[in-house]
Amino acid sequence: MHVSDHCRGIQLVLEKGRAGEVYNIGGGTELSNRDLTGRLLEACGAGWDMVRPVADRKGHDRRYSLDITKISEELGYAPQTGLDEGLAATVACYRDNRSWWEPLKAREVA
């Protein structure tokens, strides 16, 4: 889900949610991890050769999915940014702002 949808969901819960209730805020899209990886690779203009598979581990999640029915019905929440649009915007943000994340990556390697 896109950060703007997440922030909007939090604001809705703060303003209209019932105290003590739990509201799942999600993007409304269910994909396998492999499908999501493929979409991210496409958004980056990269191929599967960039992926380094790892051995499955016990309890390995194959997908992530949240039921947003409650927040949608009670608070009127609906994601505004589609998955592919959000991925493209995120990739563009990282491409346009290399100066703030590349030094962090360099420190991890060192």
Architecture of domain 3-109: Alpha-Beta Complex (3.90)
Q: Could you read off the pLDDT of 17-44 as tens digits, one per residue?
A: 999 999 999 988 888 888 989 999 999 9
Using alpha carbons, list the distances in angstroms from residue 110 to 41, 50, 96, 103, 107. Answer: 26, 21, 24, 11, 5
Mean per-residue pLDDT over the chain, rounded: 90
| Whole-structure pTM value | 0.76
Q: Which of 35, 25, 33, 34 is nearest to 5 (CA)?
A: 25
| E strand or H helix at 63 | strand 63-64
- 59: phi > 0 → left, psi -120 to 50 → alpha, else beta; which? left
Res 41: pLDDT: 94
pLDDT band at 110 (very low <50, low <70, confident <90, very high): low
